[in-house]
Chain A
């Protein structure tokens, strides 16, 4: 029995269940929107259940990838190779957790072409999870690019007035970076072959192979560009406010909560371990960009008139902090960054859901149109405030834990940057609480057709799980950090100890040969 359970390819199931669901949806009659919605929700819930099984059965003491599945696919190192470690596990969970909530949140908001919408949401889920579980660079790239397609349609079909512009900008920006990354992947493939005489694009193999400093620089820059656009790092963030403002609520939630994490995850999984010397050389420059992003994003958020673009700029600011922590290259900062990635996913996801709930009632997102909404929507006000405070890093909620860890790490690395970065605490409290005051408090504004009913059962079902998790992660961070520890420290050791290659690649010792000695 135990063997039977152990032989279940659980990572593949989590990854491809949504895809199977999407194929199933094709055969459901488009007319019955309710059936389509229910089926999509059921599939995403099943996926989440499978992801939970992954979480509970994950050991995490070795720091090595677990549940590894490997099969040869296209030959020459282009293998199907998946698994999770303490770094990717939680991002998989995040994606699997938020997709059903996003589907639920669009129950009423999307009533045009429901079947296509649900289909693209499920395809997006497969893409997101696939990126996190890939242990082969080729597979990673396939998911990374394929995921653009559903997001392109989600923004372009169900988005706001300038949706076509926003979605084209999103795709072209992202592709610009990822195509150059693709060239770097080719170069890695060739360099690995020259160094070892065999083909591999397994990330662990590449990380164990020393590359010449000159090559590292170029390759790192290509990878860093792709990831920095995705994060987004200042000044490559300009696609983000457009995409967020135009995207439907469900799209915004997944975009902010999961897609942005892919950039940071890319640095963690590829940028740093594959090219540690180059990464260390560029870390100061990237850190400065991250700090600029923190302050710029915060200041921009202060002056936004649209709630969604306010949350979008707050993402730029918060992702800046995460990147700064990543570039600090020490254990606390890295674990903080990872934790903060989850926090940002939850709190920003919740904020976008809240904005969506308000928008469904009033059909406006302009802050100036609101006022005193708390009087009509007391329950909603409480949840909205909790999400904001989590985002601002109030002690007791999850944001605090992540930020504290980040700041410890950043401070150890660079005191000046740490001092500048702390401004995020002040700034985020300012723009979020000011937003709350303008929208929820003060005299009730009711321009005509504003029907500010309080939150209903379905919306509660969307928001409450996130809020509960926010509180839980604030009070019991150990539950999660424990499973990350071993992987993160392994990761730090690996990048600290990876040997620099001799100047020419040809003299590099193949890792296999080194093991044999």
Chain B
């Protein structure tokens, strides 16, 4: 019990307020100042996260607990937010987006994420989820003059509110039967086939539906491609990554104990497996047909939640965290290249825009190629090791068919990832446009992501040690 447990959260919230207030009250608009405030607060949050490592401190009667899983993911979100801010420094002004507001909203979203992952209490998780969601809706619509952006925001808002309602409804069932708000306390053994009391089973089903909505798990993913495509590219990089990671962590916290119980496992295991397989295949098959690289990556993001769900099914916490971190770098990196493609007022995302990129901008093309190969799961990249760990843990738990489905799904994904590489390297220059490349911050982001993808593919030792330590798994 320590106030220190709130420190990372408070740092981020303070940063958010600073960014927004500077934006609102400063006479001479200086967006960089807001961005600086945001980055400083992220650094502070990072500092507090590192300080709290291994202490297991909590607040609010343990409703907010900084256990290793929470700390790891909080650190990941801080890094993701910092990368996204760096990505937006030049992108946002070019696309008529208010950078200060973007930074503020992003930090509010991070606060929501932090609340989500550090709690095992339905109400607190819901609070985090809604804080995240409100910020995400606004982020999606931050290109106010753009119809696609506004439409995406509206769609996201409607669908998100709907999912939120499901969550509350399910919560009512759970609280009504058990009188408790903690995950474990409210999901006691019962007589229904799922090993839970009937009303609890209904409530859990509703809550899972809501979470599936938020993470974009098939068949509740319909909103995702439009939202991801419509949102500004740095925001898409964030949305395809962070809410999923947090949602999957929450799912893991809910399901891991249940999947160890005979009755619940016999119902939930197959149900979540089916959702995972549907998600992978739906995402990958739909991505095959896309002509826009951004939309292709949007569908690929859906497919990747399917792979991570395999880790949830097999109760593989370390694999989940490793996958999430690997996915952070390859996903943000790929969207970073996409952001680098866009110019003053133009978004270049169609496959035709990438034709001949390997000749015109060899470094940019090579970076994207590495990110795509990692997403496809080729060694020696982070994407391969991530899949290796998640899938091998699943096989060890006996989910062989699920893993066979997953590798076949990733075979499909190779088809469309390579399609982009074909355009970049094996097709002739269609467009003569050259990119305005005066964005060192974006280059830094791409470089860091490249470094992450290669480093985690070849020498993930330190991170693995940390993760296994966090879950107290032997090496």
Interface residues of A (CB under 8 A from B): 30, 74-76, 113, 116, 141-142, 145-146, 148-149, 152-153, 156-157, 163-164, 167-168, 171-172, 175-176, 179-180, 182-183, 185-187, 189-190, 193
Contact = CB atoms under 8 A, between A and B. Distances in A.
Interface of B is mostly: helix
Interface in B156-172: none
A172 B408 CA distance: 11
Contacts of B359: 113
A179 B407 contact: yes
A476 to B, nearest CB: 40
A153 B425 CA distance: 8
Contacts of B414: 171-172, 175
A168 B410 CA distance: 15
B89 to A, nearest CB: 28
Nearest to A185: B392
A180 B460 CA distance: 25
B199 interface: no
Interface string B414-456: 1100100010011000000000000000000000000000000
5 contacts: A145-B378, A157-B425, A179-B410, A186-B396, A190-B395
B391 A183 contact: yes
A174 to B, nearest CB: 10
Contacts of A171: 414, 418
Contacts of B373: 149
B185 interface: no
Given A75-B464, A175-B414, A183 B403 contact: yes
B166 to A, nearest CB: 35
Contact of A145 (B379, B392, B394, B404): B379
B461 interface: yes
Given A146-B380, A172-B415, A193-B396, A156 B407 contact: no
Closest 4 CB pairs of A and B: A186-B395, A190-B396, A179-B407, A186-B392
B384 interface: yes
A74 B408 CA distance: 25
A201 to B, nearest CB: 10
Contacts of A148: 378
A189 B392 contact: yes
Nearest to A75: B475
B411 interface: yes
A163 B391 CA distance: 33
Contacts of A176: 411
A187 B378 contact: no
A482 to B, nearest CB: 36
Interface of B: 358-359, 362, 373, 378-380, 384-385, 388, 391-392, 394-396, 400, 403-404, 407-408, 410-411, 414-415, 418, 422, 425-426, 460-461, 464, 475
Contacts of B403: 183, 186
Contacts of B392: 185-186, 189-190
Given A74-B385, A176-B411, 12 more contacts: A113-B359, A116-B358, A142-B384, A146-B379, A149-B373, A171-B414, A171-B418, A182-B388, A183-B403, A186-B391, A189-B395, A189-B396
A393 to B, nearest CB: 38
A2 B370 CA distance: 42
Nearest to B409: A179
B273 to A, nearest CB: 15
A171 B403 CA distance: 20
Contacts of B384: 142, 145
Contacts of B404: 180, 183
B411 A163 contact: no
A163 B422 CA distance: 10
A278 B185 CA distance: 50
Nearest to B410: A179
A152 B418 contact: yes
Nearest to B393: A186
Contacts of B396: 186, 189-190, 193
B379 A163 contact: no
A163 B408 contact: no
A186 B475 CA distance: 17
A183 B411 contact: no
A109 to B, nearest CB: 18
A131 to B, nearest CB: 12
A479 to B, nearest CB: 36
A156 B425 contact: yes
Contact of A157 (B388, B415, B426, B464): B426
B2 to A, nearest CB: 33
A163 B427 CA distance: 11
A117 B274 CA distance: 44
A182 B475 CA distance: 21
A182 B379 contact: no
B464 A156 contact: no
Given A141-B379, A146-B378, A164-B426, A183 B395 contact: yes
Nearest to A153: B425
Given A179-B410, A193-B396, A142 B422 contact: no
Contacts of B395: 183, 186-187, 189-190
Contact of A182 (B358, B391, B422): B391
A163 B379 CA distance: 24
A142 B379 contact: yes
Contacts of B418: 152, 168, 171
B464 A179 contact: no
A146 B384 CA distance: 10
Given A146-B379, A156-B425, A163-B426, A179 B475 contact: no
A187 B400 contact: yes
Nearest to A148: B378
B422 A164 contact: yes
A168 B394 CA distance: 29
A193 B373 CA distance: 31
Contact of B407 (A74, A183, A193): A183
B415 A168 contact: yes
A136 B68 CA distance: 32
B445 to A, nearest CB: 21
A130 to B, nearest CB: 10
Nearest to B414: A175
A146 to B, nearest CB: 5
Given A168-B418, A172-B411, A156 B426 contact: yes
Nearest to B468: A75
B380 to A, nearest CB: 6
Looking at A116, A146, A153, A182, the one whose CB has the most chain B CB atoms below 10 A away is: A182
A76 B475 contact: yes
Contacts of B388: 182
